[in-house]
Amino acid sequence: MPKLRAFLRAAGLSVCLLAGHSEAQQTTAAARDPLVVQTASGAVRGVVRNGTLEFRGIPYAAPPVGALRWALPQPAAPWTGTLDASSFRSACPQVARYGLTEASEDEDCLYLNVTVPLSGAGRNVAEAKRPVFVWIHGGAFVGGSSSLYRLDEIARSGDVVVVSMNHRLGVFGFMPHPAFGAEHNGAYGLEDQRLAMRWVRENIAAFGGDPDNITLAGESAGGASVCMHLIAPEETSGLFHRAAVQSAGCVLPLRRVEESSRLGQKVAERVGCGDPATALACLRSKPVAELLAAGVEAAGTDLMAYAPSVGTRTVPRQGIEALASGNSSGFP
């Protein structure tokens, strides 16, 4: 254990920095368990795998159930003791797709993962601020999860601290409906991502990451999500400093919320929630499986039925407008 502790410190990982404890107490605690990192919400314990220290399944938001279904995400409640962060948590609700992703009906899914490379011997903690790579998964906005990618390979090859997150999908994350709040209608999945990015800003230094050197990246729907954050600097300023967009385009025209809301109304009608006066409460009462099935039926053959919509505070403008006006500039 002493050797492992020394190795982790040489790698630049800040371990078990417990606020309010004396230096001697911190040293003793770290000696007991060098895999523990203190976040703003509580302590987490990771595991060593493939040359990295991995923390899986850290809650960044409260479960989006009940009144939080189709509402802005709320920060996770603090916990006592040390959270076991050795395993991925459930993917957000989705149907199985293409033999690549498994079905899920678990709404308690807003968790993230942090992977730190165990390399760089000779650095001390103060000098070991690694760049941070925040990764958003793909899946056409209806599927996928943060566990689909070899985060350890990204961390080792780039010598970066890697963060990946789950976010709400499909009907739960990207479906507008006239009964939902106008400012964020149909964009709760993007707001989940932004709350996760705020978590990174607040906590990543404890994992040896530099909060002033964050690259936001993603592929497919994840790449398109990066675009949505680029074109809304009013909402995302200070959350990241560079961007990488893979297999997506930032100038693809988006449907307006009013148009996309027809999809939400179709879903609502299919599950017996067609009355506008009671639609929101009715939808919140429905089982996940019923809503998923209705969402698939309503989308039909439209593979981008649940792509983000434009015309909200979350997505205030089209990508081409952002480029023309300079609202997406300033990011390498």
For residues 2-18, give the mean pLDDT: 48
Tokens of residue 209, six digits: 């990451």
Residue with tokens 């795998």: 49
Q: Give the pLDDT band (50/70/90) at residue 273.
A: very high
For position 83, what pLDDT does the model report? 98
Whether pLDDT at 31 is above 70: no
- Within 8 A by CB and 6+ apart from 300, the residues are none
- Note the pTM of the prediction, 2 decimals: 0.89
CATH topology of domain 2-246: Rossmann fold (3.40.50)
Determine phi and psi for 315, rounding to 5 degrees.
Answer: -125, 85
For position 325, what pLDDT does the model report? 85
Of 326 and 310, the structure prediction assigns the larger pLDDT to: 310
Task: List the chain domain ranges.
Answer: 2-246
Closest CA to 295 of 141, 178, 189: 141
CA-to-CA separations, 98 to 143, 219, 225, 243, 276, in angstroms, rounded: 10, 17, 22, 29, 35
Whether pLDDT at 125 is above 70: no
The whole-angstrom separation of Cα 37 and Cα 14 is 7
Q: Give the pLDDT band (50/70/90) at residue 119.
A: confident
For residues 215-238, give the mean pLDDT: 96
For position 97, what pLDDT does the model report? 81
Share of the chain above pLDDT 70, in %: 87
For position 120, what pLDDT does the model report? 54
Using DSSP, state whether 251 is helix, strand or coil: coil
Whether pLDDT at 21 is above 70: no
